[in-house]
Structures are given as structure tokens and as C-alpha cells.
Amino acid sequence: MDADFFPKWKSQVKKGTLTLIALNTLKGQEYYGYELIEHIKRNTELEIAEGTLYPLMNRLKKEGLVSSKWIEQESGIPRKYYALTKAGEQVLTEMNQYWKELDKSIQKISR
Amino acid sequence: MSLDFLNLNQAESKRLYGDYVKEIKNVISELPKNDQSDILMEFNSHIFEALKKDTTDNEADRLASVLDRLGKPSNVLKSYIADKNLQQATKTFNPFHIIKALILNVYNGISYSIFILLYLFLFSFIYLIFAKLLYPSEIGLFVSKSSFRLGTLDSDNFPYQEILGFWFIPVMLLLIVLFYLLITFFLRLKQNATSKIKYKLKSD
């Protein structure tokens, strides 16, 4: 067996679930980019480059799942805040539901 | 809103920051101006917030670690550029846009490699036209009783006979146009298929 197999597989799963993690983080709470990343890192091990989150948020915005707005700060350097849209909430519910079903099937199979 | 650059104190951190911003600008230089300034502002904001949080080391060391965690712009912003180019390519039928998009998307999966293969066919047809002009007797459509060969063959290769003559060139031109339309059409189909799946997810 390739000794790297498990770490590689893990990082694939993480990449694949980043969308789910980011959307769940935004549930009921707005975050600006850096804060969002910090929050995700506090709760899960984020092993990818932090910057990857920005193109992802951009894509989610284009899909209409999140909205964003720039808010001026006293520091002179504004923050871009992200929030879930109504459509985003709906899809997220379905995504979480699917995740549960997947988890159930895996448990059944691996029993 | 415009980009307010950071107030850094050390020459070393100024250089690091400047290099990083320049790299971002290079990577995203083909995006619309609005998107460019938005991305720059967002990375700038991230760097600013990250530097503010952590005050232990000296500025340049902190900045270096912040940029390291962010990742190389050429890596991090790649997906955004690839999406954008493919979108543009299928809108315009412009071969250079399509080739660029294909190269950028080649890592996205085997399906794009198939498209590249189709493109290779296309270019070999073009090559054959020129070859036909230079070596008329060795290039063509060679037919025997049971099979055919398109391309090169020694003229004295017995069972095969060339049947097109200089009609070979217009036939190649026709094939080129056909392949070209086919590739662009498939690319569109592929894109529509992916967006339909996404749409279904949303509306279900």
C-alpha cells in the first residue's frame, strides 16, 4: 500500500467538503473572509491554502447561494462580508440531509 | 471603492507585499477590471486582518507566514481563471480562447483530454494540406479492397491506390470545419450538462 494513500484521500475529502463546511459556517451568521477562514480553521483542520476559499466564495456567489457586501472600516481597509441567501439556505438543508444519508449508508456497509 | 495599500514599516515586508500583489495582478490580468480590483481588495483585506491578529514576531516574519498560509496566487486563483476562460471560449468560437481554456482545464479531467485529442486531429488535417502541396504523390486518401489509409504512404505501395488527387485539399478543409464545429458543439453540451445538474440541485 502507498503510505501516502490515507493522507491523500483525506485531503481529497476535505477539498470536496469545503463547500459544505463554508456554507454551514455561514448559517445564521455573516462573516468577512479572514474571519470565515479563522472560524473554519477553529472547527476543522483546513489543510488547503487559505486563499482557495476566495474563488470558492466567488463561485457560490455566482450560483446565488451566498451574497456579499463591502463594509467600510475605520482602519480604511474595508471588509467583504458574506451571508447565505434564501436559495443558499435551501440547498444547504438538502446538502446536510444528503450528507446524513451518505453517512448512514456508509455505516450500514462498513458494519 | 479603491485599493488602499497597507502601511508597512519594514523594507523587507514592503518588498514581500509588493511581490505578492504583483503576482496576483499577473494571474488575474485577463479578468474584467471590476473583478480584478475586487480580488485585490479582498486579498489586501485578508492580509491586513491577519497581520492585525498576530503581533508576536516582527512584521516581515508575520507577513511571510500570512502569505504562506494564503498560498501562491498562481495556485489559489487558478480555478477562477479556468472557469472564466471556458465560459468565454464557448461564447466566441475563437480558437485561441478555446485552446487556452483547454490547457487550463486539462487537469479538470479526462473529458478535456479527449477534446485535446480531437484538436490534434484538427491540426493534423491542416498539416496534411501543406504536406499534400509539397509531396503530392505520397499524401492522400489511399484505398485498397479491404481498408483505407488517410495521410502518408509510399506511392508504390501496391494494394493501396490514392483516389482523391488534389481534391484531397478541399476534403481536408471540409473535415477541418466539421471537426471544429463538432468540438465547440461538444464543449457547449458539456457545459450545459454541468450547469443543468447544478440547476436541478437548486430547483429540486
- Which residues of chain A lie closer than 8 angstroms to B107, CB-CB? none
Categorize the per-residue pLDDT at B202 as very low, low, confident or very high, splitting at 50, 70 and 90.
Answer: very low
For the beta carbon of residue A15, count every other beta carbon within 10 angstroms.
Answer: 13
Categorize the per-residue pLDDT at A91 as very low, low, confident or very high, splitting at 50, 70 and 90.
Answer: very high
Average pLDDT, chain B: 80
Q: For A55-76, what is each residue's pLDDT tens digit?
A: 999 999 999 999 999 999 988 8
Q: Which residues of A touch B (CB under 8 A)?
A: 32-35, 37-38, 48-52, 54-55, 58-59, 63-64, 70, 75-80, 87, 90-91, 94
Residues A4-29, mean pLDDT to the nearest whole number: 90
Q: Does B31 touch chain A (CB under 8 A)?
A: no
To the nearest whole angstrom, how far is the Cα of B117 from the nearest Cα of chain A?
28
Strands A31-32 and B161-162: unpaired
Interchain proximity A94–B201, CB inside 8 Å? yes
Average pLDDT, chain A: 91
Interchain proximity A50–B70, CB inside 8 Å? yes
Q: For B149-179, what is each residue's pLDDT tens digit?
A: 788 776 566 677 788 888 888 888 999 999 8
**What pLDDT is stored for residue A85 in this prediction?**
97
3-class secondary structure, B148: strand
Q: Over pLDDT 70: what percentage of chain B?
A: 77
Handedness of CA A23, A27, A33, A39 (dihedral sign): negative
B141 DSSP β-pair partners: B150
Categorize the per-residue pLDDT at A7 as very low, low, confident or very high, splitting at 50, 70 and 90.
Answer: confident
**Residue of B142, B129, B117, B123 whose CA lies nearest to B171:** B129
**What pLDDT is stored for residue B106 in this prediction?**
62
Q: Return the C-alpha torsion angle A35, A39, A40, A43, nearest 10.
A: 170
DSSP state of A65: S
Q: Does B30 touch chain A (CB under 8 A)?
A: no
To the nearest whole angstrom, how far is the Cα of B18 from the nearest Cα of chain A?
17
Q: Which amino acid is at A97?
A: Q
ipTM of the complex in this document = 0.90
Lowest mean pLDDT among A4-18, A20-34, B19-33: A4-18
Of the residues B35, B47, B49, B62, the best mutation for testing chain A's interface (the one with the most A CB atoms within 10 Å of its CB) is B49
**Cβ–Cβ < 8 Å for A24, A47:** no
Q: For B118-141, what is each residue's pLDDT tens digit?
A: 888 888 888 888 888 888 878 888
Categorize the per-residue pLDDT at B110 as very low, low, confident or very high, splitting at 50, 70 and 90.
Answer: low
Phi-psi region of B71 (alpha: psi -120 to 50; beta: other; left: phi over 0): left
Look at residue A35 and tell me whether its pLDDT is greater than 90: yes
Interchain proximity B49–A35, CB inside 8 Å? yes
To the nearest whole angstrom, how far is the Cα of B8 from the nearest Cα of chain A?
14
Of the residues A54, A61, A70, A72, the best mutation for testing chain B's interface (the one with the most B CB atoms within 10 Å of its CB) is A54
Q: For B14-57, what is each residue's pLDDT tens digit?
A: 899 999 999 999 999 888 888 899 999 999 999 999 998 877 77
Residue with cell 486539462: B106
Burial of B149 from C-beta contacts in 10 A (0-12 / 13-18 / 19+):
middle
Interchain proximity B45–A91, CB inside 8 Å? no
